[in-house]
Amino acid sequence: MTLSLVRAINEALRGALADDPKVVLMGEDIGKLGGVFRATEGLQKDFGEHRVLDTPLAESGIVGTAIGLALRGHRPVVEIQFDGFVFPAYDQIVTQLAKMRARSGGRLGLPVVIRIPYGGGIGAVEHHSESPEALFAHVPGLRVVSPSCASDAYWMLRQAIDCDDPVIFLEPKRRYYEKEPVDTTAPAATLHSVRVVRPGRDMTLVGYGPTVRTCLDAAAAAEEDGVSLEVLDLRSLSPIDFDGIEASVRRTGRLSVVHEAPVFFGAGAEIAARISERCFHHLEAPVLRVGGYHMPYPAGRMERDYLPDLDRVLDAAERTLAY
């Protein structure tokens, strides 16, 4: 069937609720309204108010309650309405959710999924357009993933809900309404593996979430000039499939990493360091990063100057290929 990314999320949640009575959904306005982006539309009507819970506007309380439910055997799926709203819950996530397995000597796991619409491109203000992935990927005990398309949104969410560890599930909100065929009979890949979305020979572009489409557009434009760019969808930021990236870079000899978050201390820095260590004798040029600037997210009318676009990705490719 053909689904938009946000509809694929709805279908994944519906399937999880139907398959496992321990799955519960929690969040602000996710019940009768169906969520700000309608990701949970119709689920409270079909599964009841005891499975799809409208919560107060209190993110720390939502995540704290989810932790308690998980300790009692449930599999809570929490929706944070916008990326910038997660910070009141950051204490619960870092000091409780992430540490429980290690703190209990492996006896207690917390199968909690925290869904967060993230990133810019919708003309919104700062608390609605941020990219906080590095703040979570840096925390041991958390898994951090981000789909870029409807098929991955469906299967990665199903896999995240089945996972016995806490998962931060980052949803690229500006790609919510892009559609593609989704096969709900078999997963396309494992949760934490890199996926080659466009083969190429001259250089590797790594993106995730919203920037995979940006990388694909850049690769299509570069092809008109005879340049072949390979595009990888990272999919998982913790853990990262460094073996998959390394395999590509050993073929192409060049790498750029593209993300919306600031490049300073971002995911691209970690990937650049690891791939430089692993592929030092295979690299023909330094690893470059293309991303947001080290500043608060700008007003909506200025975000086009902030977000990495096709021109900035192509400029990085040109600089890399000049070596």
For the question of residue 127 being annotated catalytic, the response is no
Residues paired with residue 25 on neighbouring β-strands, in sequence order: 52, 77
- Can you give the C-alpha Rg of the chain in angstroms? 19
- Vertex 227, ends 225 and 232: CA angle to 5°? 135
Q: Which of 53, 99, 56 is nearest to 77 (CA)?
A: 53
Q: Is residue 104 helix, strand or coil?
A: coil
Q: Please state, in angstroms and rounded to a whole number, the distance separating the CA atoms of residues 39 and 29.
A: 11
Of 50, 127, 128, 192, the active-site residue reads 128
Q: Which stretches of 61-178 are assigned E, i.e. beta strand?
A: 75-79, 113-118, 143-145, 167-172
Q: Which of 136, 234, 139 is nearest to 189 (CA)?
A: 234
Percent helix, percent strand, percent coil in the chain, to nearest 5: 40, 20, 40
Angstrom distances, CA of residue 120 to CA of 41, 44, 65, 275, 302 = 23, 29, 29, 28, 11
What are the residue numbers of the active site?
128
